[in-house]
Amino acid sequence: MQGHSSLENTPQLVGDQVMEDKAVFPLSYGQQAMWFLYQIAPQSIAYNIYTTVRISSELDVGAWHRSWLQIVERHPILRTRYAQRGDQPIQIIHESQEVDIKVIDASSWNLNDLKAQILAVADLPYNLETGPVIRVHLFKRSAIEHIQLLTLHHIAGDMWSFDILLNELQVLYATEVQVVHLDAFQSVENSDIENNSKPNPILPLPKRSYTDYVGWQTSLLASSQGDQLWAYWQKQLVGELSALDLAVDKPRPSVQTYCGATHLIQLDEKRLEALKKFSESQKTSLYRIFLTAFFTLLHRLSGQEDILVGCPVAGRSGQEAFEDIVGYFTDPVVLRANLAGNPTFKELLAQVCCIVSEAKEHQDYPFPLLVKQLAPERDTSRSSLFQVSLTWQKHRWYQNAQTTPLVMSPYIIEGHQRGAAFDIDLAIIEAGSELHLCWQYNTDLFDTASVERIAGNYLILLDSILTNPEQRIATLPLLTEVERHELLVEWNNTQVNYPLNHLDDCIHQWFEAQALKTPDSIAVMDEN
């Protein structure tokens, strides 16, 4: 936003205290983890999060720009930078922060150029010590088509935050456009419009801020409820926590890397409808079916029976006061499934449903603190506790959108090179009636072809479940048509065509014939 962006000397007080135009606060446990990872790899883009939307209407760029300035004013965390005070990380909130809001002429670009430029911006590293932590770029394709890119560092927001920001954009833009039209009408007509005809702000400021959440979290963990939460996770994660041992294409680096890429698949309408009907018949959610299938896939690929998967939760469950606040609330919970005994898919689904329900009830215990308390043996080559994750991303802003002057729809970008926080992360993206499966993977471990094969195995597995959910997981069909042909035909083709006129020859005669044919070729070698 407009205003001074120079940073004066860092304040000397920590807490809810204001000095000049700054206020200093401690970090949440999630933010502390992000700050720690940032210090290890400040140029990493593994924790850049972004969303792209298509604007399919005439756009008043001035009103759009003013709307974003208002949004930054509404949410203090968008005007926050981070620093270290002794051994304590802090967040410093400014009254004013210049934000990267740009309009780019993309009218002459083809779609490949557009994608490349969007991703180049999305993958720019953030400097958390100077800010800003948000970028807004508008790529103008024509008078009635723009692609808007909204990027945050994860320390300042999550996917729920994107829903808040895009909902507010639609409302504030409508208000800005209406004000402009009323002002123009007054100027042209020179008429006396009553004061109450001018639009009032539709969106009241949030009553709470992210720093209130930090205080709430601190109080919760210091209470008896915090002890109960810890007791639950301590029981769930007792004993040896084996790392998931998937077959990789390259030697695992001794220190975990964050180099990644994505492979995107849109679920076809027929398969999606069949899965919805199955979820209704089982009286459970699509999420739990996809998760159970994911556990099954990992079991089949690794042969392991005790499997841990990280699953981010919104972190705002039952906390209405925080539902309209932008910030880093999402937190992974560790879901541990036991696949011993070769259960049927329906039996495993029942187990997973129970695990998910209990985890949601105990989701307020922060993952970074859980790792600290469990103190697992540190393996620098892997992420702690789990190495794969499953994420469900829903574009709530699109589902809840009303008719406004700003006509927006999701704009999903195909897979590309970017950061990877885990070995494999399956993100299921729900955008309106569409469902996309986004496989994000570490390119220092997996080749593209391997991930494409795994993604294909997952689709076949989903189809197998729909065909026979009573089948035991070890026998559910998994191979794609290409793999089946390769295994049963290509690799099994041992036929050799021998010359018909030599079928009665002895072995020494075959040897002589070959020696005459290639007299200079080496026949036998000794180690000396």
pLDDT tens for each residue of 390-437: 999 988 888 655 567 889 999 988 655 567 889 999 999 998 889 999
pLDDT value at residue 111: 94
- Tokens 């004061």 found at: 195
> Which residue, chain included where needed, has tokens 């990280």?
310
Residues in contact with 131: Cβ distance below 8 Å, sequence separation at least 6, in sequence order: 5, 79, 80, 81, 94, 97
* pTM for this entry: 0.82
Q: How far apart are CA 339 and CA 345, in angstroms?
A: 10
Answer whether the bond into residue 132 is a cis peptide, omega within 30°. yes
Q: Of 446 and 432, which is predicted with more confidence?
A: 446
Q: What Rg, from alpha-carbon coordinates, does the chain have? A: 28
234 close to 369: Cβ distance less than 8 angstroms: no
Does position 63 have pLDDT exceeding 50, yes or no?
Answer: yes
| pLDDT at residue 75 tops 70 | yes
Share of the chain above pLDDT 70, in %: 85
Given a cut of 70, whether residue 12 has pLDDT beyond it is no
Question: Which amino acid would we find at residue 97?
Answer: Q
pLDDT-based confidence at 282, cuts 50/70/90?
Answer: very high
**CA separation, residue 231 to residues 124, 345, 481 (Å):** 41, 30, 47
Q: In the predicted model, what is the mean pLDDT of residues 274-281?
A: 97
> Do the strands 417-419 and 408-410 form a parallel or antiparallel pair, or are they unpaired?
unpaired
- Identify the residue with better confidence: 21 or 138: 138
Could you give the angle at the alpha carbon of 283 between the alpha carbons of 280 and 289, nearest 5°?
80
Ranges assigned E (strand) in 350-414: 388-394, 408-410
pLDDT for res 402:
57
Average the pLDDT over 142-167 and give the result: 96
Residue 22 to residue 90: CA distance in whole angstroms: 12
Rounded to whole angstroms, the Cα distance separating 121 from 137 reads: 8
* Coil vs helix vs strand at 10: coil
Amino acid at site 371: V
> Has residue 193 got a pLDDT over 50?
no
What long-range pairs does 193-202 form, CB within 8 A, spacing at least 24?
199/175, 201/175, 202/171, 202/172, 202/175
- Quickly count: other Cβ atoms within 10 Å of residue 252's Cβ: 15
DSSP string, 92-113: EEES----EEEEEE-TT--HHH
Check the CA dihedral 171-173-174-175 and report its sign: positive
Nearest one of 85, 63, 150 to 326, comparing CA atoms? 150
Q: What is the residue type of 201? A: P
Burial status of residue 23 (CB atoms within 10 A of its CB: 0-12, 13-18, 19 or more): buried
Instruction: Work out the burial of residue 67: count CB atoms within 10 Å of its CB; fewer than 13 is exposed, 13-18 middle, 19 or more buried.
Output: buried
* Confidence band, pLDDT 50/70/90 cuts, at residue 161: very high
Measure the CA–CA gap between 516 and 508, rounded to whole angstroms: 12
From CA 451, how far away is CA 190, in angstroms rounded? 66
Considering the chain, what is the average pLDDT of its residues?
87
Axis-axis angle for helices 269-281, 286-302 (nearest 10): 100
* Least confident residue range of 5-14, 63-72, 86-95, 390-399: 5-14
Q: What is the pLDDT of residues 469-522, one digit of tens each?
A: 999 999 999 987 776 656 666 667 666 666 656 667 788 887 888 888 888 888
Q: What is the pLDDT of residue 198?
A: 39
pLDDT at 145: 96
* C-alpha angle 440-446-449 in degrees, rounded to nearest 5: 90
Of 475, 456, 455, residue with least CA distance to 465: 475
Candidate from 59-73, 77-91, 500-514 with smallest mean pLDDT: 500-514
Task: Examine the pLDDT at 264 and tell me if it is beyond 80.
Answer: yes
pLDDT at 92: 96
pLDDT digits (tens, 9 = 90+) for 209-241: 999 999 999 999 999 999 999 999 999 999 999
Count Cα neighbours of 427 within 13 Å in the Cβ-side half-sphere.
20
Q: What is the pLDDT of residue 149?
A: 97
Quick check: 289 pLDDT over 70?
yes
What is the average per-residue pLDDT within 284-303?
98
At 96 the pLDDT is 86
- Region 1-14: mean pLDDT is 33
- Select, from the ranges 46-50, 477-481, 524-528, the one with the highest average predicted confidence (pLDDT): 46-50
Sheet with 100-105, strands from edge to edge, namely 100-105, 134-142, 145-153, 48-55, 408-410
Q: Is the pLDDT of residue 196 over 80?
A: no
- pLDDT tens-place string over residues 368-395: 999 999 999 889 999 999 999 999 998 8
78 burial level (CB within 10 Å; 0-12, 13-18, 19+): buried
411 Rama sector, left if φ>0, alpha if ψ -120 to 50, beta otherwise: beta
